[in-house]
Amino acid sequence: MDLDRRALLVFNRLRPMHLFRSLRDEQLVELTRQLERETRAGGEAICVEGQAGSHFYIIDRGRVRLTASPSTHHQTLEAGDFFGAEAALGGAHPYTATALGEAQLLRLPAKTLAELLQQHSACAIALQLTAETRAWLFGRRWEWLGSSETVYLIIRRHTWLLWQSLFLPIVAAVVVAVLAGVALTLLSPGAALWTGLLLGLPAAGWIAWVYVDWGNDFYLVTSQRVVYVEKVALIYDSRNTVSMSALTAVGAGTENLADRLLEYGDVTVKTLSKPLVMRAISYPQIVAALITEHLNRSKTRVREGEVNTLKAAIRDRIAPPMATPRVEPPPAEAGGGGGGAAGPASRPAARGPAFFSLQLRYDQGDTIINRKHWCLLIRDIWVQSAFMLATVGLAGLGLAGFIPAVPLPVLLLVALVLFIPLALWWLYEFQDWRNDLYQVTQDQIIDIYRRPLGRETRDSASLENIQGLRAERPTWLSRMLNYGNVIATIPGKEFTFDDVYDPPGVQEDIQRRIEALKLRKNRQNLARQREDLAEVLSAYYLATKDVERNDANQKGG
């Protein structure tokens, strides 16, 4: 296989891509010879949303931005990324691709692409996953994604798990249908209708809840991190994140023959601490290859960034940059009616859940917030709730005429007089539960307790002072409802998150934040070491120049 330098560069561009992992070297060389090279100027549209296309594109140099209406999100692709397959395979472009600066592209004709996908199903699957990811990405809001973050994969757990979870609800629905049929045969249509409504609605709700719960859990792979998003409707909202810089290895595997036949399994994203396992996803080998590709890209970017930073530091010491006059911005006009871009002060603050929400975990910016389990709330409000229902029932009996001995206005007044203080008591206890928060920030853990109409207490501990973490579910009820305590050992005391939902998950959140803090500290230390090295090298360079000048002066003298 004789390749000239340009073809060899193209081969080395394609070989690390997960899209072509199934191709042997000789097949990839043949593909390299079929690629056409083209250059697009900055701002030029390479493909336009809604229009047909005839080529599949791979970026060799430069960057390309993908946008789609009406989404405000965009994707910035770099060298090694690809686009245009949807239109090349007979559809229309679902997005507009625009060159950001000069972009050098490798393009493959649609016919050649179709032949490649027929011969290599793994390539077809990789393109399908990418197309589904971009459709999902441009089809919903992603407030928590960074503006410079490119999403390469969004994937749910395999649908086989959904059908496993739906088995009991579907059986329940079938039983309800049988009972309704029996009631129709032996009793009356009215009895069949009430049987269907009273038993069928819960069964239908169960089926809907299982489907929504399955759809709310998914994994993302971006240019910066791997994320597991887990939601339990109205109760739990979690995002577990592993930074690309914290990854050490990626593995994929299946448990049995059935998993291999259905093409699903687990992908393990390994770190120095607890790994993140992408459980029961489709095509685990392809997903593992995709993550490995972007892990290697991340390492390359870090190395290039360190080298460039060191070069810049040495240049600044050898030839310090000239200072330029600073221009003060004009004062903003009162009222802000200029229609310009909103500054940081005008951005809306991130909002938490609604007042009466029972959500036990949610993210607010970079802060993870946990509440005590709702069973603690029930313990505090069940008395008030029972008496409130009793007063409502009393008023209902009066309105229905079942208490003729007491005049209706008097009965309603008594019910109202009893209901108002009970409702205020209920609201007090609810607010008291709602105000008890446990927060995990980027550098500390915080316990906030604010008594309604009273004072607020706040206790915090730095993440770097945590010497140990343990999670416990001490009682049979806490094990059944999955709540308990997370205890952080710090010098002199123990810091406890009491009665939080999913203690192992909270423990893992804290551990990941500790690892992220250590990583930031290491980067800061490396930056200081680079500065010291730049100081030494620049001093050495200046010293050699002095020696050269002295030698020249002596020879000239």
Domain ranges of the chain: 1-124, 159-215, 361-510
pLDDT at 333 over 70: no
8 Å CB contact between 13 and 106: yes
Residue 352: the pLDDT is: 57
Of 455, 444, 438, nearest to 496 by C-alpha is 438
What CATH class does 1-124 carry?
A: mainly beta
pLDDT computed for residue 1 by the predictor:
55
**pLDDT one-digit tens code per residue, 496-544:** 999 998 888 888 888 788 888 888 888 888 888 878 887 888 888 878 8
Average pLDDT, the chain: 85
What is the Cα–Cα distance from 207 to 194, expressed in whole angstroms?
A: 20
**Is residue 125 a contact partner of residue 85, using CB atoms and an 8 Å limit?**
no
8 Å CB contact between 158 and 264: yes
pLDDT band at 387 (very low <50, low <70, confident <90, very high): very high
Under the banding of pLDDT at 50, 70 and 90, the label for residue 271 is confident
Beta bridge partner(s), residue 364: 367
From 165, 153, 149, select the one nearest 282 (Cα to Cα).
153
**What pLDDT score does 327 carry?**
65
| Structure token digits, residue 369 | 């917030």
Query: What would the mean pLDDT of 226-253 be, rounded to a whole number?
Result: 79
96 close to 48: Cβ distance less than 8 angstroms: yes
Residues 421 and 419: their CA atoms lie apart, in Å, by 6
**Residue 474, preceding peptide bond in cis (omega within 30° of 0):** no
Please report the DSSP string for 209-220 in residue order: HHHHHHHT-EEE
- At residue 365, the 3 state secondary structure works out as coil
Confidence of residue 329 (pLDDT cuts 50, 70, 90): low
Which of residues 477 and 274 earns the better pLDDT score?
A: 477
Q: Which amino acid is at 441?
A: T
Q: Mind listing the pLDDT tens digit for each residue in 28-64?
A: 999 998 999 999 999 999 999 998 888 999 999 999 9
Averaged pLDDT for residues 389-404: 85
Q: Are 93 and 86 in contact (CB under 8 A)?
A: yes
How far apart, in whole angstroms, are the C-alpha atoms of residue 141 and residue 428? 35
Question: How distant, in Å, are the alpha carbons of 63, 348, 361 from that of 130?
Answer: 18, 32, 30
DSSP 378-409: HHHHHHHHHHHHHHHHHHHHHHTTS-TTS-HH
- Higher pLDDT pick, 182 / 346: 182
Show the tokens assigned to 180: 């309704």
Instruction: State the burial class of residue 506 (Cβ atoms within 10 Å of its Cβ: 0-12, 13-18, 19+).
Output: buried
From residue 105, how far is each of 50, 66, 83, 267, 401 by CA, in Å? 21, 15, 11, 32, 82
pLDDT digits (tens, 9 = 90+) for 397-432: 888 777 888 888 888 898 899 999 999 999 998 988
Q: What SS3 state is found at 523? A: helix
Contact 439, 486 (CB under 8 A): no
Looking at per-residue pLDDT, the higher value among 61 and 551 belongs to 61
- CA–CA gap between residue 439 and residue 370 (Å, rounded): 6
Size of the chain in residues: 557
Beta pairing class for 82-83 and 74-77: unpaired
